[in-house]
Amino acid sequence: MKLSAETTRPANIVGTKRAYVLVHPDVWPAGFAGALEDLGFEVGACTELHELFEMSREQSGSLLVIAQRNAPFAVRACRVIRGLQDVPLMVVIAAEGDLIAALDAGADDAVVARADRQVFAARVRALVRRAQPSSRNGDKIVIRDLVLDFEKYQVAMNGATVPLTPTEFRLLAVLAQQAGRVVDPRALLSAVHQHDYSERDAQNLVKVHIANLRRKLNDSRSDNPYILCVRGFGYLLERRSLAREDDPLANLIESE
Q: What is the CATH number of the domain that holds 35?
A: 3.40.50.2300
Residue 158 pLDDT > 60: yes
Cα(123)–Cα(112) distance, integer angstroms: 12
How high is the pLDDT of residue 10?
A: 33
Secondary structure letter of residue 251 according to DSSP: G
How high is the pLDDT of residue 11?
A: 32
How high is the pLDDT of residue 251?
A: 52
**pLDDT class of 193 with cuts at 50, 70, 90:** low
Domain co-membership, 101 together with 149: no
Range of the domain at 192: 140-254
Mean pLDDT, the chain, as a whole number? 80
1 within domain boundaries:
no
Q: pLDDT over 90 for what percent of the chain? A: 32
How high is the pLDDT of residue 15?
A: 38
Cα(28)–Cα(74) distance, integer angstroms: 13
pLDDT tens per residue, range 26-50: 999 999 999 999 999 999 999 998 8
Mean of the pLDDT values across residues 215-242? 83
Asked if 202 and 167 count as a contact pair (C-beta separation under 8 A), the reply is: no
154 within domain boundaries:
yes
Cα(192)–Cα(76) distance, integer angstroms: 12
Domain co-membership, 88 together with 110: yes
CATH number of the domain residue 152 falls in: 1.10.10.10
Going by C-alpha positions, the residue among 228, 223, 231, 198 that lies closest to residue 213 is 228
Single residue among 74, 99, 130 that ends a domain in this structure: 130
Strand order in the sheet with 253-254: 234-237, 227-230, 253-254
**pLDDT class of 84 with cuts at 50, 70, 90:** low
Which of 12-21, 27-36, 108-117 comes out lowest in average pLDDT? 12-21
Domain co-membership, 115 together with 145: no
Going by C-alpha positions, the residue among 197, 194, 205 that lies closest to residue 235 is 205
How high is the pLDDT of residue 128?
A: 80
Count CB neighbours of 253 within 10 A.
15
Strands (DSSP E) contained in 209-251 are 227-230, 234-237
Single residue among 130, 153, 185 that ends a domain in this structure: 130
Cα(236)–Cα(124) distance, integer angstroms: 34
| Statement: the pTM of the whole predicted model exceeds 0.85 | no
Cα(208)–Cα(211) distance, integer angstroms: 5
What's the structural domain count of the chain?
Answer: 2
How high is the pLDDT of residue 8?
A: 29
